[in-house]
Amino acid sequence: MAKFKYRMQNILDVTEKLESQERANFSLANAKLEEEQKKLQQLLVQRAGYESKLAELNAGKLDLQEIHTTKAAIDSMKVLVKNQMLEVRKAQRGVEIARKRLDDIMKDRKTHENLKEKAFEEFKQELAQEESKATDELVSYTYRIENEK
């Protein structure tokens, strides 16, 4: 019996390897995004702490040096938060790019799998036709032999 061999199997194999690499890249991009978001949260908490400290300083005995230092810390935290927000956006774009590449390679793999399935169906049909032809030849041969007797 004939064995099915998909002629573009090597392309399908490469596509599957590329897909696994893109999955890894996507998970790395997601991890980077989560890390950047966590840093942003920490900065926001730290800034809120400075702001509450400033409110306490303004409510109690006025220590101008401490108030000035706390305001400077709040201002620097605002800059850090703004920069971190940019990093988060950059990480989000990285995730989007990785997702798009993963989607594209998944579509490509699925296309090759569909082509392989179609090729296999054609192979089965050709095999069935060959078997039918062989059966017909056998029947006509035996019929001819019986009629010659």
Q: What is the pLDDT of residues 87-106, one digit of tens each?
A: 999 999 999 999 999 999 99
Q: Tokens 């089965």 — which residue? A: 124
Instruction: Tell me the Cα Rg of the chain.
Output: 35
Per-range mean pLDDT, top range of 6-10, 56-60, 78-82: 78-82
Q: How confident is the model at residue 58 (pLDDT cuts 50, 70, 90)?
A: confident
pLDDT in tens, 2-39: 788 899 999 999 999 999 999 999 999 999 999 999 99
- Tell whether the model's pLDDT for residue 143 goes beyond 80: no
pTM: 0.73
Say what the pLDDT of residue 59 is: 85
- All domains of the chain, ordered by start, with CATH? 9-148 (1.10.287.1700)
Please say whether the beta carbons of 104 and 39 come within 8 A: no
The percent of residues in the chain predicted with pLDDT above 70, rounded, is 99
